[in-house]
Structure formats: C-alpha cells, structure tokens
Amino acid sequence: MNDSSNSRRTPQGTGPVSAGLQSAGPRTATGRRTVLRTLALAAVLAGTTLNALPPTAVAAAGTPETYTLTIRHLDRAGAATGGYSTHVTGISGPGAQEEAAPYDASGTVTVRLPKGRYLLDSTLHGSDPAAGTDWVVQPRLDLNGDTTVTVDARTTAPVDVRPPESGARYLNSIGFVEVTHEGTTRSANIMTASEGLRVAHLGPASEPGSVKEWFDTYWSGTRNDYALGYTFASDRALTGLVRHPAAEKLATVKIRGAAAEGTTGTGFVSIQPSKGPTIGLAQPLRIPATATVLVTPERGRWDVTYTGPAAPETPPNRYEANGIEVHAGATTTHTFDNAVFGPALDTTSGARPAGVRDGDRIALDIPLLADGDGHAPSAPRFSAATTTLHRDGVLIGTRRGEPGRAEFTTTPEAASYRLTASVTPGDGKASSGRVTAAWTFTSAAAAHPKTLPLSVVRFAPDLALDGTAPAGAPLRVPVIVQGAATGTGVRSLTVSMSTDNGATWARVPVLDGQVSFRTPGPGRTVSLRAELADTQGNTLTQTQLGAFRTR
C-alpha cells in the first residue's frame, strides 16, 4: 500500500502457490472469503507467501456402480509429467458427494468414481518456478462409463492482467471457478504469488451461464497500488485472459489511517471485492498516512478493512467499510480511527436495529465510539461505560460494560422511557472525549419485536490525521442525522459548542446541514452537543466532550 509518509512493506514470496479450496458439499461465499482473507492477512503479518488449504476428503455414500477415470498429464513440451495436482469434485448424480485428488508420478493416474457430473481442475508446474504455472479446468465431466481425460499444458494461454504502471510489482492473484448443475454448485481455485500463470478450458461446454469465473490480481506501484478484478459467466472456463486497463478506466480508493496527536504506529489495510471469492490486497501502513489503491469498477463494489496499531495488553482495533461503490475516474476516500468519535448507526440494508422492544425486554446496540467516518471499532478502548433506563421517571436499572450495549426488563404497559448511554475513553479522563447520548420515547409490549425510535447525530469536520483543526480559523462541521428521525422527520435540531469542556455552551445555527464557527486558540478542545426532536415526539440529547483539538 502506498502512503504519504513511511509505509513499511512486507516482502511477498515469489514461488507459485496453488490452492485446493474445492468443496465436496455446498460452501458459502462468506466462508470462502473468510478463509481467503485470513490467508492473505496472515501472509502479510508473517512475511510469507500464501498457503493453500488441502482438499477435503469425503467418503462415498452407498455403493453405486463405478467407472474408471484415467487422467493423463502432459507438460508444455508434450511429455508426460508428474508435476501436477489434480482434483475431481462431484456435482450431480450418484457421485455428487465425491471428491478425489489422485496422483501417480508417471503422469497417468486412474480413479474409480460413481456415475455423475464432475468438475475437474489440474495445476501443472515444472521444475523451474520462473517458467510459470498452468491451470486447466474441465467444468463438465460426465462420467457415464470408463473415461480418459488428457490434461495438456500446451493448450493453455497466458493470464496477462497488468496495471498502467510499467514498474509496478506483482504481489499475488487468484483464479476461481464455480460450476452449477441441477441446483448444486462446486468450485475450484488457484492462488499464485508468481507471474506466468496460463489457463485453459477442457472438455465440452456446460449449460449457458453455468460457469462463473473470477480473476483478481494485485500489484504494488511507486505511487499507487492496484487491485484488478474481472468476472465472467459462460458455458466454459477461460482459456487465457488479457486486460491492460488504462488509468482513467480505474477507480481510486484512498484509505487514510489516523493517529492521535503525537503518536505513531503500524496499522494494516486491506481491500477486496465485495462479491465472490478473493484474496484481497493487504499491506502494512505506517500511520498517520494515506494508502491509494486503483481498482477495477467492473468487479463491482469493494470492501476495505483497517486494523489499527496494537496497544499493550489490548487487541488492535479493526474497522470495516463494506460495499463501497466506485466509478472509473472518480476518487473515494475513507478515513479510519480519526475524530470526531461518537454514536453511529449502521444504515445499510438489513442491518441490525439500534434498539429493540421485544415483549418485556428493551435492548440497546449502538456503538458510542465510532470514528469520524462512522466506522465502528471492533474493540473500543474505554475506561468506563454506563447505560441506564428510566420508566416514567423511575430507574429500571443500570448496566456497565461494553459501550452502547445493554438489555433491560420492564413491564408491558405503555410508558415514557429515558435511555441514557455514556462512555469514557481509555485515557480515563472524564473531561476528555466523554460521549453521552440520552433518548426519550414511549413504548409498550407488542405481539412482535419492534424497533425503538432512536436517532443519533454525526459531526463530520475535515480534520487532519492527528484529529486536529487549525486554531483560530473558520471551520465548517457537517451535521448528519441518522436513525428514526430520518424517516419520521426532524421537528427541531439545535447544536451548541464549548471551548471549556462543557462548562459553558454557545449555540451555533444549523444551516444547510452544517454548522460554522471559529476555532479557539492552539491546544484547545472543542466540545459539541446536539438536541434533537422528531415529529413523533422522540428526543435525543447528545454530548461529545473534547470532540477534537486545535493546533
């Protein structure tokens, strides 16, 4: 990953690595992606090449009639070779649950399998890794009798995908094939950390659209890194692939890693396509810094993960930004672990609600220390966190533990509630960075779980990567409302600022979704407070002490 300061890179290995992530049973895309991303990140952390998973062996069910499958392997000179790895995976018929990885050093191997449709893929490699690797895929192997298949490296064509920077360094790539027949999907893949991959289709065509293939390749350049991915749907596997995208045909994703004023460290950033199996590009980032990655819009949306530097005796914080939409020639920027820290809601479709009333139970689940871009940390650092619930002015209970997460038991009748959540960051100073949100609403038990009408306010000033703003200068702060008020409508919204840690407050008008004010002198803090009411009478009072500093 490139950055504007001192990004430290971990060398990648140069030898070819093939993977057999074939599945004898249905395997979810999420599971595959988790395995592949884990492999990629582990490789970066350890400074090694990617490692392959061994194929899963599954015993045949019952004793159906079997046939002999003979597989001959030929190298690029047309000679028999023992330098291969072949997998045969059942798709449909009596052999649907079969999986085999037969081998014989002579180059010719036989295996008996039940009748059915199979997926065959074979990786061939010579004694010289620099010569490259051949990957031959037969997505349709109908075993209806004794059958001979010849895997011939001479039929392959190059995978020639490269970025528009001649000096860019190749990192790794993955080819992945999914074949679907009679409602069942099986897969095969190859991962390689060296150039020179050649691929070929083998055998008859499958049904139209039944073969899906992904090729993702990753590169490191002088100023930018590159994640180039392409997808295909056809009746055949690919024979060769050539893509040389021009810079203007790529989208730019900037990943900014922040560091609190006066601190440094090494974080890790990764980027990968949102859909389909992939490895992803994972590299260290010496913070504060910015990584720039050019990606292919043809691959769809992209996911970014940022892992902050590890702190003593605490796990590193991990942030995610998933489903990022990109466009050719356009730049998208995501900043991680920077102020203003505060409550944030997941606004993606199907996200878990921030608060739920389920019978006599009221549950809250709102991250109180999301970063300035709204990314929620995996392990928020705090010294104290408290959540309380009042019913008609009477305390129901107090919960201490994870910020913004609590459950309470109440009575079924309709009542007025006040739910308050607060957190003090890990520095232990209640006057520095303390976040409090208090909601009021009415609620009663219902036949089905019901989302609570909770809202939050996001403050999003443009701060430096140390969380500071220029002293004594005009500053515009976007004010973003999330949650119930975006649907029911905002009846009133007032914002106040304080330069003395909340001892006194000055109201600042909200105009066109933002507030403007002049920042105080150097080394001072700015605190922010929002008071919101929606058209249904639900309210929010949100206070963020020491939201950011001046420099």
Taking residues 66-76, what's their average pLDDT?
Answer: 97
CA-closest candidate to residue 353, choices 437, 486, 450: 450
Peptide bond into 158 cis (omega under 30): no
pLDDT digits 0-9 by tens, 195-226: 999 999 999 999 999 999 999 999 999 989 99
Q: What's the whole-number mean pLDDT along residues 27-42?
A: 47
At 515, list the tokens: 């507030």
Mind listing the domains of the chain with CATH numbers? 29-245 (2.60.40.1120), 248-336 (2.60.40), 355-550 (no CATH)
Residues of the chain with pLDDT > 70, as a percent, come to: 88
Lowest-confidence pick of 127-141, 362-376, 457-471, 499-513: 127-141
Stretch 68-92: mean pLDDT: 97
CB-based contacts of 281, cutoff 8 Å, min separation 6:
1, 40, 171, 218, 225, 227, 270, 271, 272, 293
In tens, the pLDDT along 248-269 reads: 999 999 999 999 877 889 999 9
Mean pLDDT throughout 448-467? 96
**Predicted pLDDT at 36:** 54
Distance of alpha carbon 24 from its chain centroid, rounded? 26
- Check pLDDT > 70 for residue 160: yes
Cβ contacts of 517 within 8 Å, gap of 6 or more = 474, 475, 477, 497, 506, 508
pLDDT digits (tens, 9 = 90+) for 120-143: 999 999 877 778 999 999 999 999
Name the DSSP class of 80.
B
Place of tokens 């890790």: 268
C-alpha span between 250 and 247 (Å, rounded): 5
- Residue 426 pLDDT class (50, 70, 90 cuts): confident
Q: Which residues of 7-35 are buried (b: 16+ CB within 10 A; e: fewer)?
A: bebeebeeebbbbbbbbbeebeeeebbee
Relative to beta strand 331-336, strand 355-358 is unpaired
For the CA atoms of 187, 193, 198, 204, what is the dihedral angle to 10 degrees? 0
Are 447 and 359 within 8 A, CB to CB?
Answer: no
C-alpha pair distances (Å), 540 with each of 21, 402, 490, 529, 537 = 50, 21, 11, 10, 10
Helix (H) or strand (E) holding 415: strand 415-425
State the Cα–Cα distance between residues 295 and 255, nearest whole angstrom: 13
**Is cis: bond before 340, omega within 30 of 0?**
yes
**For residue 302, what are its two tokens?**
């992209």
User: Which pLDDT belongs to residue 351?
Assistant: 87
Contact in structure between 551 and 471 (CB atoms under 8 Å): yes
pLDDT at residue 148 tops 90: yes
Report d(CA 44, CA 41) in Å as an integer: 5
* Residue 265: Cβ-neighbour burial (10 angstroms; 0-12, 13-18, 19+): middle
Which tokens sit at 444?
Answer: 């009663």
Does the pLDDT at position 334 exceed 90?
yes
> What is the pLDDT, as a whole number, of residue 19?
41
- Look at 44-48, 272-276, 439-443, 468-472 and tell me which has the smallest mean pLDDT: 44-48
**pLDDT, position 203:** 98
Q: Which two tokens stand for residue 270?
A: 């990764």
Q: List, in order, residues 6 or more apart from 394 with CB less than 8 Å away.
A: none
Residue 44 pLDDT: 42
What pLDDT is recorded for position 131? 84
**What pLDDT band is residue 362 in, cutting at 50, 70 and 90?**
very high
Distance CA 316, CA 207 (A): 47
Dihedral pair phi/psi, residue 29, rounded to 5°: -65, -35
Phi first, then psi, for residue 9 (nearest 5°) are -100, 145
Cα separation, 459 vs 342, in Å, equals 8
Write down how long the chain is.
Answer: 551
> DSSP of 439-507, one letter per residue?
EEEEE---SS-EE---EEEEE-----TTSEE-TTSEEEEEEEEEEHHHHH-EEEEEEEEESSTTSS-EE
CB 98 within 8 A of CB 114: yes
**Taking a C-beta distance cutoff of 8 angstroms, is the pair 420, 435 a contact?**
no
Instruction: Check whether 45 has a pLDDT greater than 70.
Output: no
pLDDT digits (tens, 9 = 90+) for 311-321: 777 788 899 99
Q: What is the DSSP letter of 32?
A: H
CA-nearest of 112, 110, 114 to 93 is 114
Residue 113: predicted pLDDT: 97
* pLDDT value of position 11: 30
pLDDT of 120? 98
Residue 315 confidence (pLDDT) = 82
Average pLDDT, the chain: 89
